[in-house]
Amino acid sequence: MQFQTSITLNSRAQMWTEEKRRTVWFLISSARQNLGIAIDPVVASAFVILQKYFRGEIDDEYDLFILMAAALFTSCKASDNFRPVNCIVSELCRVCNRSKSPIVRQLIGSHFLNPEDPNITMQYNDLKLISAAEVDLLKANNFSVLVDLPFSHFERWKQSVIDHFPNQISPEFLRQCNKVMIDICLLICSYYYLDVPPEVAAAAAASKSFGNDQWVTSVKEKYGDNVFNLAVQSINIEDSKTVRKPPQRAPPANIIRPLAVVFV
């Protein structure tokens, strides 16, 4: 199946390859644990900010490490989870250094005096680069730091089910909800994510676990089959290239752990 989109490939879009998208997602989602931030909204928002940047036409170019740091810094501030930029850089360096891939380790480049030092001291020029990158990321996002994510649309549906059918909430239901969250993450990493409205992304992910629920059907009717099918197919493509961690026991009813998945 070939997707029809309005994208014109420019040099920046060509830089944002599948391998780089999946590498960046893996690195910033891995950094979340020691930074004490969540996939929803911080990591996902940072990634969407990068997705929009690589669709843009701004001339300034930065390497991926600088962009990752700037995107996480921006997303943390936007979600009231402020983290000092030096902490973000240190954790990203740690995640890169522990990778077995020389390509990932090389992302650090020559920016930092000693990237293996857990107490990294940023050089002034690196701080200037991250600050400049943050401005250009904001420009690419029309200076909007609030990102509408699919998670909130799915959570509203999930909470409605819990409210109306509390006696039918089972471990299997929770496992399927966790799978929906993972599928949303897969779609966010897709090349076509920005062509899919967040509500469609949520409903498409839900349809893979819960079928044609009334909410799913209403979303499909609202936006049409083409964009809905694009979302489903994008999830399937990303899923086929993804290695998952071994399944865990279902979390408590009020908890969803939205990433039991590793991108390689």
Provide the pLDDT confidence category of residue 102 given band limits of 50, 70 and 90: confident
Residue 256 predicted with pLDDT over 50 = no
Give the sign of the dihedral formed by CA 129, CA 132, CA 138, CA 142: negative
Residue 150 predicted with pLDDT over 90 = yes
CB-based contacts of 19, cutoff 8 Å, min separation 6: none
d(CA 237, CA 232): 9
* Low-confidence winner among 46-60, 141-155, 202-216 (lowest mean pLDDT): 46-60
Provide the pLDDT confidence category of residue 162 given band limits of 50, 70 and 90: very high
Distances in whole angstroms, Cα of residue 12 to Cα of each of 57, 107, 214: 8, 17, 40
Residue 2 predicted with pLDDT over 70 = no
Q: pTM for this structure? A: 0.85
Mean pLDDT across the chain? 86
Q: What is the CA radius of gyration of the chain?
A: 19
Residue 241 predicted with pLDDT over 80 = yes
Q: How many CB atoms lie within 10 A of CB 102?
A: 7
Q: Which pLDDT does position 251 carry in this prediction? A: 44
Task: List, for residues 64-81, the tens digit of each pLDDT value.
Answer: 999 999 999 999 999 999
Residue 257 predicted with pLDDT over 60 = no
Q: DSSP secondary structure string, 62-97? A: --HHHHHHHHHHHHHHHTT----HHHHHHHHHHHHH
Q: Tell me the average pLDDT across 172-190.
A: 96
d(CA 1, CA 54): 24
Tokens of 56: 């843009």
Contact 184, 205 (CB under 8 A): yes
Residue 28 predicted with pLDDT over 80 = yes
Q: Which domains does the chain have, with CATH numbers?
A: 11-140 (1.10.472.10), 150-262 (1.10.472)
Distances in whole angstroms, Cα of residue 214 to Cα of each of 51, 125, 210, 221: 31, 54, 10, 11
Structure-token match 């730091």, residue found = 145
Distances in whole angstroms, Cα of residue 34 to Cα of each of 30, 95, 98, 146, 180: 8, 10, 14, 23, 25
Residue 117 predicted with pLDDT over 80 = no
Q: Residue 261: beta bridge partners?
A: 244
Residue 116 predicted with pLDDT over 70 = no
Tokens of 201: 């992304």
